C-alpha cells in the first residue's frame, strides 16, 4: 500500500472511529494543511485502543500506524480538517505525512 492510500485509509479510520479517543489539544502546533493551531491531537498507539475499537479495525489501524508513523515523530490529527499529521514534538510542529 502506498503512503497516499494509507493516509486516506487512516483519515477514514479517524473519522469513523472518532479518533483520538483522548481529547487533549496540543496548543501552539499549527496544522500544515489548514493552518489551525488549536485543533491538533496526538493519536493513540494501537495497544492503547484494544478495548475501544473492534479487533479488525484495530488490526488495520495498527498496520497503518506502523507504516506511517515517522521515526522522529508521532502520529496526530487535526480535528478541524481531519487530516493525519506527523508530530515532531521536540520541535513543537506538525508535518505532512506525505512529505519528509
**Predicted local distance difference test score (pLDDT) of residue 72:** 66
Average pLDDT, integer, range 7-23 = 94
Domain boundaries, the chain: 3-96
Alpha helix (H) ranges present in 1-100?
Answer: 3-16, 55-68
- Global pTM? 0.89
Q: Please enumerate in sequence order all residues whose Cβ is within 8 A of that of 43, keeping only pairs 6 or more positions apart, or say none.
A: 14, 19, 20, 65, 74, 75, 76, 77, 84
Q: Which of 21-25, 30-34, 74-78 has the lowest mean pLDDT?
A: 21-25
| pLDDT value of position 2 | 85
Amino acid at each position: 500500500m502506498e503512503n497516499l492510500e494509507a493516509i486516506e485509509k487512516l483519515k477514514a479510520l479517524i473519522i469513523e472511529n472518532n479518533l483520538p479517543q483522548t481529547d487533549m489539544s496540543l496548543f501552539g502546533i499549527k496544522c500544515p494543511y489548514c493552518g489551525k493551531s488549536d485543533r491538533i491531537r496526538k493519536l493513540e498507539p494501537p495497544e492503547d485502543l484494544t478495548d475501544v475499537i473492534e479487533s479488525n479495525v484495530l488490526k488495520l489501524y495498527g498496520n497503518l500506524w506502523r507504516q506511517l508513523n515517522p521515526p522522529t515523530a508521532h502520529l496526530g490529527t487535526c480535528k478541524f480538517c481531519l487530516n493525519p499529521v506527523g508530530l515532531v514534538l521536540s520541535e513543537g510542529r506538525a508535518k505532512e505525512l506525505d512529505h519528509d
